[in-house]
Amino acid sequence: MGPSKGLIVRYERMPRFGVKSDAQVVGISNYAGEIDKNARLSIKGYIPAWNRPHLKVVVGLSYEREEFQFNGPATTDYELYRNIEDKGLKSIASQIVMLRPIDEVHWYLARVKGELSGDYNASTDLTTSDYFRFSAEAVYGWKRSPLFSWGVGLQYGYTFGRLSLYPAVLYNRTFNNRWGVEALFPARITARYNVSESSIFYAGYTVDGYNYIIKLRNELSRIGPGGAPIADKQPLQTLELRETEVKFRLRWERELLSFLWMGAEAGYRYNYAFDAFDRTNDDRLKIIDSKFNGAPYASLELFITPPRKLLEKAGVRR
């Protein structure tokens, strides 16, 4: 396994890539252009709240912000992208992870997470429950040896853009002093190569899903084929943005100090969906179907770990 992470600061950036948006309802226009900048900043912290042989509890807090800068045509003419460009997309979250060993072999893991996710700017925007998102997972597993554990369970959340329940298989195995695998299928699979105790390489893929609430500045009307607003549909005030992407990645982690590590990552991002849905009316109809061109990406990360000497005193090896 790689080093445990306490505080993580990560910045990710993608170069220019194309975007095309097709309206799925009458009365809303299409869009085609380029995105000059797509960047993400994330700050995460994990605190051991309870650490006993038969129960371990970790509390996590995080802040993430995603920014877009479009390169024509003018986004002032396209309400969805004007909101995104001016305000950015943000997520403030907290989570609790519980690991409960039943005996020397069997264990179960549970995680619950709540977050406020959307294009809010001021604290006054957060009074609405629309921004709140909930996710959870539960895994029952077997520890076959100190170097091999696996489990099966369920995940409930937005990994694939929309809220859904799907099966998951956890597989963590260290084959020797160099090689190992860390996986939570189908969301991610990663192969690990330990060059030394202070240098680790990773390769694999991740599926990342994001779900944001967009409060429109100007209402959008759902127009019927005849050109008039649909009588039984309210003007659109809120959209639900569902984003799903697959990343194929190479990663290098390097110890800088006994408590400080650096992570450098590069790879290719394939965007599966960036779609907007009607959040105002009950039918939740898809309003805009967007496709981002695939693009390379790079990220840099700094994270704090328990000092090596402290782990050695506790009899723990990384």
Number of independent structural domains in the chain: 1
Residue 18 tokens read as 């194309």
Residue 152 lies in a domain: yes
Q: If residue 308 lies in a helix (H) or strand (E), which one and from where to where?
A: helix 308-313
Residue 261 lies in a domain: yes
Confidence at residue 231, expressed as pLDDT on a 0 to 100 scale:
65
Residue 318 lies in a domain: no
Q: If residue 175 lies in a helix (H) or strand (E), which one and from where to where?
A: none
Residue 206 lies in a domain: yes
Residue 2 lies in a domain: no
Residue 162 lies in a domain: yes
Alpha carbon distance 33, 55 (integer Å): 52
Whole-model pTM: value is 0.88
Confidence at residue 220, expressed as pLDDT on a 0 to 100 scale:
74
Q: Which phi and psi (to 5°) does residue 37 adopt?
A: -140, 130
Confidence at residue 140, expressed as pLDDT on a 0 to 100 scale:
98
In terms of C-beta distances under 8 Å and separation of at least 24 residues, what long-range contacts does 221-230 make, across chains too? 221/27, 222/25, 222/26, 222/27, 222/28, 222/278, 222/281, 223/25, 223/26, 223/27, 223/28, 224/26, 224/27, 225/26, 227/27, 229/27
Alpha carbon distance 210, 141 (integer Å): 28
User: For the chain (length 318 residues), average pLDDT per consecutive 10?
Assistant: 88 94 78 90 95 93 93 67 83 96 95 93 66 94 95 92 90 96 96 95 96 83 66 79 96 95 98 90 86 96 82 52
Confidence at residue 121, expressed as pLDDT on a 0 to 100 scale:
78
- What is the domain extent for residue 142? 7-313
| Domain harbouring 187, CATH code | 2.40.160
Residue 217 lies in a domain: yes
Sequence letter at residue 139: V
Residue 105 lies in a domain: yes
Confidence at residue 229, expressed as pLDDT on a 0 to 100 scale:
63
Confidence at residue 80, expressed as pLDDT on a 0 to 100 scale:
81
